[in-house]
Structure 1
Amino acid sequence: MNLEKKHLLNYSILIPYLIMSVLGLIVVYSTTSASMIQYGLNPFRSVISQGAFWLVSLLAIAFIYKLRLDFLKNEKVLSIVIVAEMILLVIAKFFTKEVNGANGWIVLGPLSFQPAEYLKIIMVWMLALVFSKKQDDIAIYDYQALTKGQWFPKKITDWRVYATVLVILVAMQPDLGNASIIVLTAIIMFLVSGVGYRWFSAILSLIVGVSGLFIGLTAIVGVNNMAKVPLFGYVAKRFSAYFNPFKDLTDSGHQLANSYYAMSNGGWFGRGLGNSIEKLGYLPESTTDFVFSIVIEELGLIGAVFILALVFFLILRIMLVGIKAKDSFNAMLALGMGSMMLMQVFVNIGGISGVIPSTGVTFPFLSQGGNSLLVLSVAIAFVLNIDANEKRQDILAEAQLLMDTDQI
């Protein structure tokens, strides 16, 4: 049977993706046009740039969807990609200019990219390959199949060494937002890899305990003293705002306090699209990190809930592809991509609402940023490809069964 992939496309994933992408273009225009006019620039400048990245993303989806995913199981290809990513992270940290207190962007003429964004895809790819190859051993030896009975790796080629070095390089920039997303995604992938369920409660308790201890220590010692710790100076203000954003409205608490004002202004039904007050210079990063605060201000709680529901629907459909997949690598890859998006939403919403310290993470699809949109689109492409391959295998298996039955 010659089954074409175009007939196996999962529209329950593609359509929400397209809707979110179009909504993202509308939100980018709404949050940037006023400032563009203020500076005498084309009000469509930012949305044109975002639209260009979206067109590239659509081409990437079409290309990836037609690929055979077997090349992702090649360890040599993965090793080359990991080494290249390490080099790019080192270049971004030590050979680029600082932007908003961090060294994370590599600028090449009119183009710029953030290696940490692409690491999220690479990390999911690496863990999916590692965990999928050890499924039989995990069923027998539990977590020891992944660690070989050793809590600390003894070889530099151990996957844990690669993962640790990559995360440290991101944290050093410092980009604690993306580092947090990568770590949380890795933990979820570990928990769904087949290890005993008791590890879920153990790791969850550890995360809550360590986080609570660190926040409590920061509150006791004081943010100013903690700011003297290397690599912590940049995030010290974020912790100060987390404890009480209204204590210093002109500095550390300015961003989070105005985020609260924006959400309060929105009420149930919002002020109307384009009518935000806070985006007019009051709320910094209103086009990226805090874009969802502006969405709530303009569309209200009802509109924001609708968008969140659509995002969660997309994530659940992606997770469902992983749950249904019979190939262990396909399953781990799809679950990893879904987990990555889920953690990005959690960290962003947690930051703008004050549930967790702000980490500078963008909201999927809505925030201005071509790199983020491209990474999310690549993730969607891989999941669509996985789903089509799994459907094809199921159809061929059923067809073969019918043929065998007819012959009998």
Structure 2
Amino acid sequence: MKRLSRPSKLQYLDFYILLPYLILCIIGILMVYSSSSYHLLDSELGTASKAIKQTMYFLFSLLCMSIVYRIHLNVLRKPKLLFMLLFLTFLSIAALPLIGTSVGGAKRWINLGVLLFQPSELVPLILVLYLAANLAKDNVLRPFTIKNHKRSLMVSLFFMCFVAIQPNIAGASMIFILVLTLFLSSGLSPLFMSLALISFMALKRLGTVLLLAIPKNWMPQKFSYLVTRFEVMQNPFIDPTGKGFQTSNAYYAIHNGGFFGRGLGNSIQKKGFLPAADTDFIFAICIEELGLIVSLGILFLVFFIVGRLFLLAIKSKTLYYSYLYIGCGTLLCLQVSVNVGSLLGYIPMTGLTFPFISYGGSSLLILSVTLGLALNARATEIRETFQAQGGTT
């Protein structure tokens, strides 16, 4: 029997995750250049300035992904480190009224100089790490009871409510679905899950009716934006030059694109008609310029990564890794679903970016770290299997 030297961790990279990620980021840089160039030219700025920034964000995110990939996962399971991450995330959100930067009327960002960072985007990732470590103690699937998961429930509810009062209802809703998915995978009754989802949809519908019925001046000022967003969701063409300006112009962009698009750089709606063309509504510009078929290909790449993560979760023999795959896959799936859902008017506008495509460093950084975590889990799992077999031939 000949003993083999242990291969480098780089040899365990899962290219089914890495290659779609790289392709999406490159497409994102091209689309940021295309969607922002007209506005930058009109403002007498360099037409490639945002694309260059996006490239820098991508390279920095790639560096952070590689660092996370090399970290030993046992370090991320330590209770003291997890508590510190939760506490720092809480402090960063709590400090927003003092040090936050207002963007679009909401004070949810911290200006780090090189990028605007949104602390609430960090909450789902930290909760994935925390819940994966807590739910997979001793690598035993314990029956889901309040007693067994009391601390996990309390921490999740605290952050969900804390994000909601920022106000960031969309972020709180994402945390709710993410946590519910992880609890379901930990042994929560499917019946309870079904009832929770039905209750969530019923409350959403009831909330829509109540928000539209209650006079806007009765709402607390920080939550008054919800009324406008639900009104737009019902019918953006009631006020296409006012409340429904963004959504109605997104529909026009989708209509203009058709199946094959107008060609890269030939969007009409980016020329002052569609605000946030390079961020929240960049997928509408993708459809207008590249066409529905290519845009569905972009969606396929995102959901291919999601599907790969869920497949790894099913095949994994280690409970902790399985939870990490499920958490990372659900987080990515929620982000793309919410962005496209709000674009099409199925849910209220949320201000959530399209993964890897939209301009901005905060979302790209968090999602890159998320995938770095999943890649790390996959590589560690393969290495552990190699070691268990004795590393021999």
Interval of TM-score (by shorter of Structure 1 and Structure 2):
over 0.9
CA RMSD of aligned residues (A): 2.0
Instruction: Give the letter aligned to residue 225 of structure 1.
Output: K
Structure 2 counterpart of 1:8, from 6, 12, 20? 12
Q: More displaced, 271-280 or 2-11?
A: 2-11
Report SS of the residue matched to 1:103: strand
Q: Deviations over 1:240-268 (max 9, x none)?
A: 11111111122111111111111111111
Higher relative contact order (CA 8 A, sep 6+): 2
Name the residue aligned to 2:33. Answer: 29
TM-score by length of 1: 0.90
Name the residue aligned to 2:111. Answer: 107
Structure 2 counterpart of 1:71, from 69, 75, 85? 75
Report SS of the residue matched to 1:231: helix
Name the residue aligned to 1:309. Answer: 300
Q: Structure 2 vs 1, CA of residues 159 and 255 (structure 1 numbering), >3 Å: closer, same or farther?
A: same
Structure 2 counterpart of 1:395, from 383, 386, 389? 386
Task: Give me the whole-angstrom Cα distance separating, in 2, the residues matched to 1:134 and 1:240.
Answer: 49
Q: Deviations over 1:142-161 (max 9, x none)?
A: 3345445xxxxxxxxx3333
- The yes-or-no answer on 1:62 pairing with 2:66 is yes
Report 1:32-181 matches (<5 A).
Answer: 32-133=36-137, 136=140, 138=142, 141-147=143-149, 158-181=151-174
Q: Structure 2 vs 1, CA of residues 160 and 370 (structure 1 numbering), >3 Å: closer, same or farther?
A: same
- The yes-or-no answer on 1:205 pairing with 2:227 is no
Task: Give me the whole-angstrom Cα distance separating, in 1, the residues matched to 2:191 and 2:93.
Answer: 35
Instruction: Give the letter aligned to residue 208 of structure 1.
Output: M
- The yes-or-no answer on 1:193 pairing with 2:186 is yes
Task: Give me the whole-angstrom Cα distance separating, in 2, the residues matched to 1:386 and 1:282.
Answer: 44
Task: Give me the whole-angstrom Cα distance separating, in 1, the residues matched to 2:99 and 2:187.
Answer: 41
Give 1:378 deviation, angstroms: 0.5
Instruction: Give the letter aligned to residue 180 of structure 1.
Output: S
Instruction: Give the letter aligned to residue 365 of structure 1.
Output: F
Q: More displaced, 2-11 or 266-275?
A: 2-11
Instruction: Give the letter aligned to residue 15 of structure 2.
Output: Y
Name the residue aligned to 1:406. Answer: none
Q: Deviations over 1:157-206 (max 9, x none)?
A: x3333323322332223222322222221111111122222222122211
Contact 2:270 2:285 in 1 (8 A): yes
- The yes-or-no answer on 1:279 pairing with 2:270 is yes
Name the residue aligned to 1:381. Answer: 372
Give 1:37 deviation, angstroms: 1.0
Contact 1:12 1:317 in 2 (8 A): yes
Contact 1:269 1:300 in 2 (8 A): yes
Name the residue aligned to 2:338. Answer: 347
Instruction: Give the letter aligned to residue 283 of structure 2.
Output: F
TM-score by length of 2: 0.93
Task: Give me the whole-angstrom Cα distance separating, in 2, the residues matched to 1:328 and 1:83.
Answer: 26
Contact 2:141 2:187 in 1 (8 A): no
Q: Structure 2 vs 1, CA of residues 395 and 107 (structure 1 numbering), >3 Å: closer, same or farther?
A: same
Task: Give me the whole-angstrom Cα distance separating, in 1, the residues matched to 2:21 and 2:140.
Answer: 35
Q: Deviations over 1:299-347 (max 9, x none)?
A: 1111111111111111111222222222211110111010000000111
Contact 1:270 1:297 in 2 (8 A): yes
- The yes-or-no answer on 1:337 pairing with 2:328 is yes
Contact 2:117 2:362 in 1 (8 A): yes
Structure 1: which 5+ residue stretches go unaligned? 149-157, 404-408
Give 1:137 deviation, angstroms: 6.3
* Percent pairwise identity: 37
Q: Deviations over 1:95-138 (max 9, x none)?
A: 43432121111114454311112222111111111211286462
Report SS of the residue matched to 2:106: coil
Contact 2:338 2:350 in 1 (8 A): yes
Q: Structure 2 vs 1, CA of residues 240 and 145 (structure 1 numbering), >3 Å: closer, same or farther?
A: same
Report 1:251-290 matches (<5 A).
Answer: 251-290=242-281
Task: Give me the whole-angstrom Cα distance separating, in 1, the residues matched to 2:64 and 2:86.
Answer: 20
Task: Give me the whole-angstrom Cα distance separating, in 2, the residues matched to 1:355 and 1:278.
Answer: 21
Report SS of the residue matched to 1:42: coil
Instruction: Give the letter aligned to residue 286 of structure 2.
Output: V
Task: Give me the whole-angstrom Cα distance separating, in 1, the residues matched to 2:138 and 2:349.
Answer: 37
Q: Deviations over 1:246-298 (max 9, x none)?
A: 11122111111111111111111111111111111111111111111111111
